[in-house]
Structure 1
Amino acid sequence: MIKRIVFFLLLIGFGKLNAQELNARVQLLAPQVSNISKPTLEALQKTIRDFLNNNKFSNESYKPQERIDCNFVITITSWDGGSGYAAEAQIQSSRPVFNSSYNSTLLNMSDKNFDFSFNDGSTIDFSDQNYISNISALLSYYAYTIIGLDKDSFSKMGGTPYFKKAQNIINLAQASGNTGWKAADGLRNRFWFNENALNPVFSELRSFIYSYHLSGLDQLTDNDKGLGQIVSALPALQQMDKQKLGSIFPNVYFASKAEEITNVLSKLNGQERAKAYNMLAEIDPANIGKYEALRK
């Protein structure tokens, strides 16, 4: 009897040790592709979802309730009738706000070059040491990026190991010839998002993500101290190189956060709202229209 109990406890411990990081929802669409069948789409959708939810991307233990909520909406734009798919994807992730039912967006990124090859009925294999296929590399890259941003929101610069893993995926995929893995493939791609995340120039933004979430949003349900923490974190962002404000990392981050930041800071008094507006207008001029509500 004792042996059975010990064995059962070991199984539980092993399960916790290997608990996966992601809770991914996947939607595969092909509204303008007439030669692809619904069963084919559904099977591929399930294969992608299983890859994201069943693989381990770290050595850390995640409880079921700690898994990171994320969404992958993949739109097939053309299919060659065989294994070749041209596609675009919208990748979104969020993390819960402490002691509330609200989830705050961390990533909302569009990838216009989500092309891949996949043979019907096959599986997608995972490796962080070798390039297997573009679909495996794409999903692994975004898994590491999602985990990295989530870690940044809980510990200062905590996502660095995962951004470096994503960087390794980039290095492995560059020889494949697929678009989005190289610096020369445009300014708004996977290469540059990862370069920005690891570039010291954007360390203030990553520190802000930590302060905004852990010291700010997570404290709001108990008291208003979190508001002050958010406002006090803004001046550091003003130190970022103004020439870099149009880069993909700050652009993607603030595009997804500007409305939320405005709603949160609207609880400040009039003078403090005006102060926050002036800083945000300088830090993120692209979304100045959303911050206008702070002036009212």
Structure 2
Amino acid sequence: MIKKVLLAGCILWAVVAQGQELACTVSINATGAQSNDRTVFADMKKAVEQFMNTRKWTNDTYKNYEKIACNILITITKMNSPTSFEASVQVQSARPVYNSNYPTLVFNFADRDWQFDYIESQPLEYNDNTFTNNLTSMLAMYAYVIIGIDYDTFSEMGGTPFFQQARQVVNNAQQSNREGWNSLGSNRNRYWIVENFNNPQMNDLRKAYYAYHRLALDIFHKDPDKSREVILKGLKDIKKVRDINPTAVLLVSFLDAKNKELVNIFSSGNLPVRREAYDIIKTLDPSGTIYDKIIQN
């Protein structure tokens, strides 16, 4: 696999000492939970981190500095019983930019339909080939998505095997009849994020991830203007995806991860390039107000 240089201080996320592919930090906000026993949440945090970080998700060998930095913020919204929970979750991952101390946010997705059971001190069980429980299926799906998109940023369409594995997790979990695993209801659930990553209509967007990161950000220090032009071309390709499927959740996820970064990138440089980028970005995200900074200077 392509080696990823992680300079000291590059990632603003806690790196877990023991792990396989992921360096995942888990936070649990349980202020809304009606429970006098708070130890379950500390135990849950530890169990989820261990599950994400100690399981081997690929056949590749990762060195410590190659692990993928990611965050999972679980907000408990309801306790149906001492072992049954409802939650919303924010999943994020980042990767380093070559020759810099800058980590770029790659994936940013809010999942509002988590329902799961958790028994304190009981090991988390998971099997790739069958549905075991809703918690580990959700975690496994996001592990494969995080790894897949990281691979996409280092080689064009490199994450395909992992997105296919995430789709298998979704297919297995549909038998649970829990929210978020099927095409019904919201188009911003885990079914649709995995569907988008596996949908050929999204290939231009996935290829843009590679161009954006490997062919632009990683060489930005050498030639900022050329990097901006590469990113501009990627935005044009992403617009093609938007023209085909304007409600695709992958478009939302991309902009949620990149909106502030795009403003920083295009707030300087060649004005015609900046104006063209602004027009495309506003087409992709008409309600975004932060983009006005791109053309103010």
Map residues 34-113 of structure 1 onto 2, 5 A cutoff: 34-113=34-113
- When residues 47 and 192 of structure 1 are mapped into structure 2, their CA distance, relative to the original with a 3 A threshold, is same
Aligned residues of 2:83 and 2:117 also touching (Cα < 8 A): yes
Q: Deviations over 1:182-241 (max 9, x none)?
A: 001421100111111111111111111110000011111233232222223333223225
Tell me if the contact between 1:147 and 1:159 (Cα under 8 Å) persists in the aligned partners: yes
Tell me, in whole angstroms, the C-alpha distance in 2 between the residues paired with 1:294 and 1:253. Answer: 18
Unaligned runs of 5+ in 2: 1-17
Provide closer, same or farther for how the CA distance between residues 99 and 52 of structure 1 changes in structure 2, counting only shifts above 3 A: same
Native 8 Å contact 1:153 1:209 kept in 2: yes
Structure whose residues are more often helix by fraction: 1
Partner of 2:163: 163
Structure 1 match to 2:172: 172
TM-score, normalising length: structure 2 = 0.89
Judge conservation of contact 2:34–2:79 (CA < 8 Å) in 1. Answer: no
Q: In the alignment, which residue of structure 2 is the partner of 1:6?
A: none
C-alpha change, 1:286 and 1:203, in structure 2 (3 Å) is: farther
Task: Describe the superposition over 1:19-42 as per-residue Cα deviations: whole angstroms up to 9, x where unpaired.
Answer: 611000001121022314222111
> Aligned partners of 1:268 and 1:198: how far apart in 2?
35
One-letter amino acid of the counterpart of residue 264, structure 2: N
Distance 1:99 1:42 in 2: 37
SS in 2 for 1:111: strand
Shift of the alpha carbon at 1:167?
Answer: 0.2
Distance 1:141 1:259, change over 3 A: same
Decide whether the 8 Å contact of 1:36 with 1:79 is kept in 2.
Answer: no
3-state SS of 2:70 partner: strand
Q: CA deviation at 1:275?
A: 1.9
* Residue 89 of structure 1: how far off its partner (Å): 0.8
Is residue 192 of structure 1 aligned with residue 198 of structure 2? Answer: no
Alignment RMSD (CA, Å): 1.6
Match of 2:152 in 1: 152
Q: May I ask how many residue pairs the two structures share in their alignment?
A: 278
Local SS of the residue matching 1:239: helix
Percent identity over the alignment? 32
1:9-66 deviation per Cα after TM superposition (whole angstroms, max 9, x unaligned)? xxxxxxxxx9611000001121022314222111111001100000011101111011
Tell me the equivalent position of 2:202: 202
Contact 1:245 1:251 in 2 (8 A): no
Partner of 1:230: 231
> In structure 1, what residue type is equivalent to 2:275?
A
Letter of the aligned partner of 1:69 in structure 2?
A
In structure 1, list runs of 5 or more residues that go unmatched.
1-17
Question: Which has the greater radius of gyration?
Answer: 1
CA contact (8 A) 2:242 2:251 kept: no
| Residue matched to 1:30 | 30
Stretch deviating more after TM superposition (165-174 or 264-273): 264-273
Closer/same/farther in 2, CA of residues 36 and 51 from structure 1, 3 Å limit: farther
Task: Tell me how far 1:123 sits from its aligned partner.
Answer: 0.8
**In structure 1, C-alpha distance between the alignment counterparts of 2:89 and 2:36, rounded to whole Å:** 18
Q: Distance in 2 between matches of 1:32 and 1:19?
A: 31
Q: Could you tell me how far 1:286 is from its partner in structure 2?
A: 4.2
Q: What code does the residue aligned with 2:69 have?
A: D
Q: Distance in 2 between matches of 1:39 and 1:83?
A: 12
SS of the counterpart of 1:20?
coil
Partner of 2:21: 21
Q: Does 1:262 align with 2:257?
A: no
SS at match of 1:80: strand
Q: Structure 2 CA distance, aligned partners of 1:236 and 1:84?
A: 43
